[in-house]
Amino acid sequence: MLKETPNLAPDGQPFRLITLRNGAGMVVTLMDWGATLLSCRVPLKDGSIRETLLGCASPEHYLQQSAFMGATVGRYANRIAGGKLTVGGETLQLDVNQGENQLHGGPEGFDKRRWRIAVQNEQEVIYELDSCDGDQGFPGKLHATARYALTEDNRISIELRATVDKPCPVNLTNHAYFNLDSVQNDVRQHKLQLLADSYLPVEANGLPAGDLKKVGGSSFDFREPKPIGQDFLNDADQQATKGYDHAFLLQAKGDLSQPVARVWSADGELEMVVYTTAPALQCYTGNYLAGTPARDRESYSDWNGVALESGFLPDSPNHPEWPQPSCWLKPTEAYLSITEYQFLPR
């Protein structure tokens, strides 16, 4: 189902909302501005419906937030130090939007664009976007597609694809914030499992602070499920970022059949399982969500949601030494990243 809003987006056209449904009664809503996930409503075993995504009250309110809520992010999700890339011995300066660094593709990243609707029905929507040579400072023309599908086993399947005509780093992701409780308050009461043996410590600005560290014996060890709040702010690595805002290098190494994370609501009635072909998962506990416009109240507070963003490690274009596939896409290659969020009522 496609619906156009009476309020207009910055380009003077209506926001176009699309609703996906499955036979289990799950309902997912998206919009073409930013190819954004707006809502994910999951039926529980007692017959009630639970909203699992943080979101705003209406599409135009998404323009008033800087949390990238539910948006498709690119060309390069996460941070690039100094906004600098080196291509063939030449240094390129990207547009910056977080101090001297670039975050999530720049000040006018893909989250702030209208994506074209190429395919749309009750099971899937495919969005398309073209990015010109020099867009936000990146080299080459890029063509991207984002396919969002709702499966009969309660998965939101996200397939992000891209091609380029010049070598360019590409790292597309979705920036949804999850809260599986009936009242979306402090997400630190959720249980989390992250199937990762190492994580990347970062400075307060989110840029790498050194080499990967083993999670063993640290507050970053989620290999066995534990409450997010159990070891919260217990060490300098967390204190630098006011909580978890770190990339974890996944055990699955791109195997989509292997779970990479699990989240449980505080009341135990809902579980979410994450699968991805990406090498890493950025776990962000919403440490700076305060003041973000909310769907059911004036604004969210810090730690009201957790984002589990698939992709490459932050600043990967400048760290070829890290044990992951290259983030540089060549004109002869096709970028594909698949991430699935499956919801299991308990």
Cα separations in angstroms, 45 against 27, 42, 293: 16, 10, 30
pLDDT in tens, 189-212: 999 999 999 999 999 999 999 999
- Mean per-residue pLDDT, 301-323: 97
Between strands 270-276 and 259-264, the pairing is antiparallel
pLDDT in tens, 263-279: 999 999 999 999 999 99
How far is Cα 238 from Cα 235, in angstroms, rounded to an integer?
6
In order of their start, the domains of the chain are 2-187+272-345 (2.70.98.10)
Amino acid occupying residue 11 = D
Is 78 annotated as contributing to ligand binding? yes
271 is catalytic: no
pLDDT in tens, 58-116: 999 999 999 999 999 999 999 999 999 998 889 999 999 999 999 999 999 999 999 99
Cα separations in angstroms, 57 against 39, 130, 142, 148, 292: 10, 29, 32, 22, 11
Is 175 annotated as contributing to ligand binding? yes
- Catalytic residue (one of 104, 190, 269, 309): 309
- Catalytic residue (one of 51, 104, 175, 269): 175
Is 176 annotated as contributing to ligand binding? yes
Residue 91, burial from CB neighbour count under 10 angstroms (0-12, 13-18, 19+)? exposed
Quick one: pLDDT band at residue 30, thresholds 50, 70, 90? very high
Residue 232, burial from CB neighbour count under 10 angstroms (0-12, 13-18, 19+)? middle
- Mean per-residue pLDDT, 273-297: 97
pTM beyond 0.95: yes
Is 177 annotated as contributing to ligand binding? yes
Query: In this structure, is the dihedral angle defined by the CA atoms of residues 45, 264, 207 and 215, taken in order, positive or negative?
Result: negative
Residue 183, burial from CB neighbour count under 10 angstroms (0-12, 13-18, 19+)? exposed
Q: What is the DSSP string of 119-177?
A: EESSSEEEEEEEE-TTGGG--S-EEEEEEEEE-TTSEEEEEEEEEESS-EE-B-EE--E
Tokens 């073209």 sit on residue: 130
175 is catalytic: yes
End-to-end CA separation in angstroms for the chain: 29
Query: CA nearest 275: which of 341, 324, 198, 223?
Result: 341
Query: CA nearest 186: which of 216, 144, 227?
Result: 227
Cα separations in angstroms, 38 against 50, 200, 234, 337: 14, 30, 33, 21
